[in-house]
Amino acid sequence: MEYNLNTEKEYGGAADIEAVNTKFNEELQQYIDGTLPTDRRFNLGFPNGGLAGQLEELPLYVKQGILKKAVEKHNIDLNGLRNLPKQLADPIFVFKSKDGVSKTVLIDAKDSQGRNVIAAIELSSIQIDAKRRLEVNDIKSLHGKDFEKLLHWIDNGLLAFVNKRKGLDFLMRNRAQFPSGDGSQNPIHNSLLNIIQEFEKINT
């Protein structure tokens, strides 16, 4: 049995991604409108699609404070985070941390500078009541990330998952940021293409 943090009820099996996505969008609109209870976390379901196998099979949540920070500090339009459960299930890249403690997920949403947004996810233990705690996948940050930094992570072997179609498209859209201009002769570019094409866990 799994534990639903918001309803404080146990239920059997992971919720359907469509139902989770619809519910998230409804609550996101309530948050935008200022009508969502302030103690409510956003339920993002369980790791699905590209996240399956990358995270522990535990509930995925994000606090309202993370969305507030995403808007006020990181210049992200909340409308770009609609369908967040689906965006997380169909990521461009998933990166592992050097210490293996967390995962960083590159999604389709963009910040005001046009940079794709990353979701930094860690395991957290949340107090349910006086006697019980719940382990969850907790989104700790949502912010845009420079293309150069993402290349650095890939070059350092931190790429854990790639959606081949989205990854190649992402690379081509940002190729002008390579030092050589179009990136066609840049060693890092060629290395990245090889990683994307040969990586074992390609999401087809």
pLDDT higher than 80, residue 72: yes
Domain borders along the chain are: 2-145, 147-204
In sequence order, what are the residues at sequence separation of 6 or more whose Cβ sits closer than 8 angstroms to the Cβ of residue 170? 92, 93, 106, 116
Helices 17-33 and 64-72 pack at an angle, to 10 degrees, of 60
pLDDT higher than 80, residue 39: yes
What does the pLDDT look like over 8-38, one tens digit per residue? 333 334 568 999 999 999 999 999 999 999 9
pLDDT higher than 50, residue 79: yes
Are 61 and 41 within 8 A, CB to CB? yes
In sequence order, what are the residues at sequence separation of 6 or more whose Cβ sits closer than 8 angstroms to the Cβ of residue 143? 70, 73, 74, 76, 111, 117, 118
Are 75 and 113 within 8 A, CB to CB? yes
Task: Give the per-residue pLDDT at 11.
Answer: 37
What does the pLDDT look like over 177-201, one tens digit per residue? 765 544 455 556 556 666 666 555 4
What does the pLDDT look like over 81-130, one tens digit per residue? 999 999 999 999 999 998 878 999 999 999 999 999 999 999 887 766 77
- 94 by Cβ neighbours in 10 Å (0-12 / 13-18 / 19+) ranks as buried
Closest CA to 23 of 7, 1, 2: 7
pTM here is: 0.84
